[in-house]
Structure 1
Amino acid sequence: MAPKIFLTGATGYIGGDVLYQLNKVHPEYEYTLLVRNEERGKPVAAAYPKARLVYGTLDDAHVIEKEAAAADIVVHTADSADNVPSAKAIAKGLAAGHTAEKPGYWIHLCGTGILTWYDIDNKRFGQAPLPEQKYNDIDDIDRILSFPDSALHRDVDKIVLAANDSPGVKTLIVGPPTIYGPGRGPVNQRSIQVPHMIEYTIQNGHAPIHPPGLTEWNNLHIHDVSEFFVQAVEAALDPSKTSNPEIFGPKGYFFLENGVHKWSDVARWVADEVAKQGLIPEPATKEVDIPFFGANSKAVAARAKKYLGWTPKAPSLKDDIPRSVAYEAKRLGKA
């Protein structure tokens, strides 16, 4: 029998790209996709005619519980890092529908925004990262599993981690950083952070730098994110990997990254390119109080490489800036 995959977020940027790559590599899988309503589902159904669509919001616990119970693997990407009701429903459904002999697997999208907790708690914006603000997902797993409750996404992470208390549930948490590049999903193909900076720059005539401009993040192309999800799903079907507590279970916490950037450097790259494309008079930057770009998120993606052999291959963030600027200009009607 073909593996049954229940995926949320098919209309989203990450979920849409993950579904694209999963279906490309494994068209033989049975896909059940949660979408909000029939209207939202039309482009999804057109792109994936063999998939089964179920309709409901992330608050429709009975729908999510039923599908989680029936699935072999749940891939949760729809507001997954912050939506408590859907996480509780998935945990409940997986526990009800699976046993220790036949577990259900939950691949859960979080994000490295969780690593900003120290700067946010201490209102330490714009500063360079402290040495202890760098988290290796193998060496620092105990620290990662004990972040304070104030940390972004932590409330949902705790629900996912606790789901492993059921003998029929095994989880894997994925934490990507700044994601860039064109999505391949049927609806949203646009990221958030870099497009937000480009949009701000086009509209205000300068790129924003939160002073003093020393904050750092990791970054990763969306196609490399999706390739990891494919490998994670494949691992959930491989007994040699499902039995490894370093892959599935509380320790199965995977950061993803393929580089580090200072947000001030990204602002300069953006300003240069926006000016080059004739959208602002000159490549200007300006210090602006935008905490969105002011907290540090530094991770080391050791676990994915060691245990799944994941290797990012897509173009760099800097190389993607010209395409992203052209896309935003067209979206804003400036091209």
Structure 2
Amino acid sequence: MDLNLLRTFVAVYESRSLTSAAARLYVTQPAVSQALTRMRRQWDDPLFHRVGRTMEPTAAAQSIYPSFRDALMTIDRALDAVHSFDPATSDRRFTVAMSELGEIGYFPALFAAVRSAAPGIGIDVVPLDLDLLPDWLARGTVDLAVTSLPISGAFEHQVLKSERYAVLMGQRHPLTADGTDGKTPALTMDDYLRADHAVVAGDSGRPALDAALRRLGAPIHPAVSLRHFASLPPLLSAPNPLIATVPASIARGWAETWPLVLRDLPFELPGVEISLLKRTTSQHTAALDWFHGTVLRALRGDPGEFSSIGARNPLGPGPDRMVP
């Protein structure tokens, strides 16, 4: 078996496109088509069927792909040991999928770590789409992803941190009023459910919160759904009855500069794990291994820098009030 045929097969399988496979292999599309014709004769199977603009694998192709991919990765890593990837001279580009919070909180540290060792490397950040992410990682559309939700597929992943959630509200919210003993009472479940909620539609940790509330038989129906986290501080600081359930690390930063009060959730919610996922495709394994290791070391345990979210405070600084 010609090794180049195996590379072509894996490239077509992962990209589902003759054009994309050709670009990955640095050959022409006719060359890929010719290689595919040879493979079809050799295996006596069509291997791929064109469905619209996509090359969909046959059952035979699906059965042999894992073994061929693993074999190629083993061969490439052996070759890389002789001709190692040199980040200092590389001009490769990598693609990372991140949420809005991930891009704001973690990308500066990621970029600094990568560029300090590889000044010529470029990084593209794409918005996190949880529905498409398994396909992106399987086809190599993205190299890495930072997400707080588990996704389908056997992708290598490492936990970067565990994020807890808290309740945030304005200092003039009725739920901040002191009780008859002069102390602020703990937020009750009834208080939480009766309140008007503001949510951020793109919060990747929200499904875990919603699932916990469904298990309690107490789903909430938000009064306001926003697109960006930066909209929350001025909205909650205004005289209205809204509350928001947000990552505690962000809430603490806002409570230092905005007239906001931070409260504990009135129910148990395990910390939401934020993980780094790695693509499974076989191309450029040495470069991917270096990039993945560099990003992992930069972000693991990093609390993130979220002070820029909603940093402008037209109402003046407020005290850091964490009410138990």
Taking structure 2 as the reference length, what is the TM-score of the superposition? 0.25
RCO comparison, higher one (Cα < 8 Å, 6+): 2
TM-score by length of 1: 0.25
Which has more radius of gyration? 2
